[in-house]
Amino acid sequence: MLVDSHCHIDFEEYADRIPQVLENMARNQVTHALCVCVNLADFPRVLALAESHSQLFASVGVHPDQGEDASPGVKDLIERARHPKIVALGETGLDYYRQSGDLEWQRTRFRTHIRAARECGKPLIIHTRDAGEDTLRIMREERASEFGGVMHCFTETLEIAQAAMELNFYISFSGIVTFKNAHAIKEVAKAVPLERMLVETDSPYLAPVPQRGKTNEPSWVRHVAEEIARLRGISLEAVAAATTDNFFRLFRPVL
Ligand SMILES: [Zn+2]
Ligand SMILES: [Zn+2]
Q: How far apart are CA 13 and CA 159, in angstroms?
A: 36
* Mean pLDDT, residues 15-33 taken together: 97
- Which pLDDT belongs to residue 254? 85
* Mean pLDDT, residues 85-113 taken together: 96
Q: How far apart are CA 112 and CA 71, in angstroms?
A: 9
End-to-end CA distance of the chain: 16
Residue 1, pLDDT > 90, answer yes
Ligand nearest to the CA of 126: 1
- Which pLDDT belongs to residue 78? 98
Cα 173 to ligand 2 centroid, rounded to whole Å: 12
- Which pLDDT belongs to residue 233? 98
- Which pLDDT belongs to residue 81? 98
* Mean pLDDT, residues 76-89 taken together: 97
Number of residues that this document lists for the chain: 255
- Which pLDDT belongs to residue 80? 98
Cα 241 to ligand 2 centroid, rounded to whole Å: 23
Cα 202 to ligand 2 centroid, rounded to whole Å: 5
Ligand nearest to the CA of 92: 1
Instruction: Report whether 244 contacts 237 (CB < 8 A).
Output: no
Cα 60 to ligand 1 centroid, rounded to whole Å: 13
- Which pLDDT belongs to residue 99? 87
Cα 198 to ligand 1 centroid, rounded to whole Å: 14
Q: What is the chain's mean pLDDT, rounded?
A: 97
How would residue 255 be classed by pLDDT, with cut points 50, 70 and 90? confident
Cα 91 to ligand 1 centroid, rounded to whole Å: 6
Q: What percent of the chain has pLDDT over 70?
A: 100
Q: How far apart are CA 127 and CA 166, in angstroms?
A: 17
Q: How far apart are CA 96 and CA 125, in angstroms?
A: 17
- Which pLDDT belongs to residue 190? 98
Cα 189 to ligand 2 centroid, rounded to whole Å: 19
Cα 127 to ligand 1 centroid, rounded to whole Å: 5
Cα 152 to ligand 2 centroid, rounded to whole Å: 8
Q: How would you label 6-31 residue by residue, b for 16+ Cβ within 10 Å and e otherwise?
A: bbbbbbeebeeeeeebbebbeebebb
Give the residue ranges of DSSP H helices in 96-252: 104-120, 132-141, 158-166, 183-191, 221-232, 236-251
43-56 confidence digits (pLDDT tens): 999 999 999 999 99
How would residue 100 be classed by pLDDT, with cut points 50, 70 and 90? confident
Ion ligand 1 — residues with CB < 5 Å: 91, 127
